[in-house]
Amino acid sequence: MAKRGKKPKGVTLQQEAKRRGRPPKAKGNGAHPAAGRKVAKTDNQPSEDAIRENFLQHRGVWNQLGAKQKLLDEQWKDAKAALKADGHKVVHMHIADALSNSAKSEAKIYGEVEDRLKVARYIGHKLGAQYDLFAQPDRTPLVDSAYDSGKQASMENETKKPPFDPSNEAYNAWMRGYDDHQKTLMAKFQPLQQDAPGWGGSGEDDDL
């Protein structure tokens, strides 16, 4: 490898670079787009108005959510009042949530009930007599549980679609439960229809 010659005395770096056919290096570290000049601290930073505008945009979303939350709180208040008026408790809904949300929350409810029944048995309380029954597996026949499941599906206004194969006896049991509850609903509507104008009996419409 050939040795690089030394820069002659009295020649600047720019002059030497030009002599060698290379462009002179810019002053600065070259990493910043504004290399070669002193950069002010405010460069590439949002202005006070931009920061203010951004905050106000977030503030608008915040206010919208606050209004929705206020409306939702009122709806929750009305729902709880209606729940209590029908003889239920808010804690009943919390228990239903726990039993329906996840296996972990369901297991927590099971544990709480088991602890109460167990302690009741220890102290000779009559509730303790239910501990053995609680500890045993569910022995309800499949057709019975399927019937009740179909009835509940109708109560919750779900689609009439049994979760069983048509060849399974539980399929027909589920359908019976669903249909029986539907018949109960229709029986409630019929008196209202009979009281409505033009329902059966004699009247002006009979002459037409």
Report pLDDT digits (tens) over 86-118.
999 999 999 999 999 999 999 999 999 999 999
**Which residues form the domain of 150?**
139-193
pLDDT digits (tens, 9 = 90+) for 135-155: 888 899 999 999 999 999 999
Task: Please check whether residue 182 lies inside any domain of the structure.
Answer: yes
CA distance 165 to 146: 12
Q: Residue 161, CB half-sphere, CA atoms under 13 Å: how many?
A: 2
Task: Please check whether residue 184 lies inside any domain of the structure.
Answer: yes
Task: Please check whether residue 152 lies inside any domain of the structure.
Answer: yes
pLDDT at position 24 is 52
Q: Which letter does DSSP use for residue 162 in this model?
A: -
Task: Please check whether residue 10 lies inside any domain of the structure.
Answer: no
CA distance 148 to 142: 10
Low pLDDT (below 70) residues in the chain: 1-43, 191-208
What domain count does the chain have?
A: 1
pLDDT at position 138 is 87
